[in-house]
Structure 1
Amino acid sequence: MKKYLKYCLSAGLLLALSIGTVSTVSAESKVKTYKNCTELNKVYKGGVAISSSTKNKGGKTKYKPFVSKALYEANKKSDRDKDGIACEK
């Protein structure tokens, strides 16, 4: 009986760990890379910032940027002034 319980608990733990890993991978794959700033600004009017403490170097903007490190990393090529905000508007 103890061996059976031991095997069931081990299998349950392995299953839980594998499910947790799969959900993490699928969440990372949902990050979208946009072709250019026009496409990105249709969804995120103020652009995408790497963190909430990032300051804009380019001057005054109309909209506040959306904060997402993963989304910024996927669209880093669109950050022309390298201030940590891609496609600020």
Structure 2
Amino acid sequence: MKKVCGILLASGLILGVSYSSTNVAEASTKIITYKNCTELNKVYRGGVARSASVKNKGGKTYYKPFVSQALYDANKSKDRDHDFIACEK
């Protein structure tokens, strides 16, 4: 009986922690369309990349871009060189 209670308690804790961490990750990134790159770079210094595997076409950058497909899609018009990184610095 003690083993069954222990197993149920442990699985409940694991499920509770995994459920709460996914909700926090989804809520932390707000999808905002910025007016220009200056406004976007105030929040995301290195710009916004569509995925972690994209490479910058324009040369060396000083900051690493923030990776978010939804945020990139909202600000796609600011990607002038079409390398899937908007407003890179």
Query: Do Structure 1 and Structure 2 share a fold, with TM-score over 0.5?
Result: yes
1:49 corresponding residue in structure 2:
49
Output the amino acid matched with 1:46.
G
Corresponding residue SS for 2:45: coil
Aligned residue for 2:37?
37
Residue by residue, what CA displacement relative to the aligned partner does 1:25-70 show, whole Å, maximum 9, x if unpaired?
xx6xx41000000000000000000000000000000000000000
- Aligned amino acid, residue 31 of structure 1: I
Q: Distance in 2 between matches of 1:54 and 1:39?
A: 22
Percent identity over the alignment is: 79
2:59 corresponds in structure 1 to 59
Q: How many residues align?
A: 62
1:79 corresponds to: 79
- Structure 1 unmatched runs, 5+: 1-26
RMSD: 1.3
Higher radius of gyration, 1 or 2:
1
